[in-house]
């Protein structure tokens, strides 16, 4: 690490990183963490202060960071939103729930067609806390940001039903019980490399029209505004 703190001579300064976009369709194991937004609504299962209210005060989402765990792009980070609620209708929230279902299937080694009691229990979480730090196999996509510039996003989880999942396996098998603990960690097989997929990415989000009534609450010692959503 360069310990030179001169602010006049920059010849020995570190070289700036200039990352290219990760190619669209790349498959990689990732760890997802959630940036807490301080929004709770227990009636909807939003607890722990993980949800975030948009600047406009209408939509609610999970603000997620994905760190790539293995392969050519190890340690690179991608940021995406998981929609929970939009005043425009239920589509955004429905797509968010579908993405989380796929994340759980990927992380816990479940076929989407598996409806056994064990699988049903493994698709349940205590709250968003169980998604904070979860590891799964993801498809990386490219879309434009608010300024029209391309950026990487993750909105699709690769599950055991897909050929790209072969060579990856959850660190532990899911166990069916009421207090199910998430499994973490993907271990790539030494003889297998994840292949690019041409699977349509989920995008966009939207839930029911509502009016937010701000109320005050505490989250980890900080004050936040919690909307109470009309039913």
| Mean pLDDT score, 38-50 | 95
- Residue 94 phi, psi dihedral angles, 5° rounding: -65, -40
Angle of CA points 219, 102, 60, to nearest 5°: 35
Quick one: which H or E segment has residue 43?
A: none
- SS3 at position 117: helix
Structure tokens at 188: 């790539």
Residues 6+ apart with CB under 8 A from 219: 36, 38, 40, 49
Instruction: Kindly indicate the confidence band of residue 57, based on its pLDDT and cuts at 50, 70 and 90.
Output: confident
Q: pTM score, two decimals?
A: 0.71
Instruction: Kindly indicate the confidence band of residue 18, based on its pLDDT and cuts at 50, 70 and 90.
Output: low
- SS3 at position 41: strand
Instruction: Kindly indicate the confidence band of residue 3, based on its pLDDT and cuts at 50, 70 and 90.
Output: low
**What's the confidence (pLDDT) of residue 209?**
35
User: What is the tens place of the pLDDT at every residue in 160-203?
Assistant: 999 999 888 765 544 433 444 444 344 433 333 333 333 333 33
The DSSP letter of residue 72 is: T
Domain boundary assignment for the chain = 27-213
């Amino acid at each position: 690490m360069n310990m030179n703190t001169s602010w006049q001579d920059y010849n020995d300064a570190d070289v700036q990183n200039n990352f290219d976009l990760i190619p669209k369709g790349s498959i990689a194991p990732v760890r997802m963490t959630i940036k807490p937004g301080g929004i709770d609504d227990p009636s909807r299962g939003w607890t722990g202060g993980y949800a975030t209210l948009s600047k406009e005060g209408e939509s609610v989402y999970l603000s997620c960071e994905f760190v790539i765990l293995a392969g050519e792009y190890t340690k690179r980070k991608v940021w995406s939103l998981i929609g929970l609620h939009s005043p425009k209708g239920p589509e955004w929230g429905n797509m968010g729930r579908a993405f989380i279902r796929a994340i759980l299937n990927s992380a816990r080694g479940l076929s989407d067609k598996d409806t056994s009691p064990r699988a049903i229990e493994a698709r349940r979480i205590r709250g968003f806390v169980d998604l904070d730090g979860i590891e799964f196999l993801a498809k990386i996509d490219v879309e434009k940001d608010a300024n029209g510039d391309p950026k990487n996003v993750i909105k699709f989880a690769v599950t055991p039903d897909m050929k790209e999942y072969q060579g990856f396996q959850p660190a532990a098998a899911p166990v069916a019980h009421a207090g199910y603990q998430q499994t973490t960690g993907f271990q790539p097989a030494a003889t297998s490399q994840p292949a690019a997929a041409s699977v349509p990415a989920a995008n966009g989000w939207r839930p029911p029209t509502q009016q937010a009534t701000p109320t005050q609450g505490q989250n980890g010692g900080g004050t936040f505004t919690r909307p109470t959503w009309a039913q």
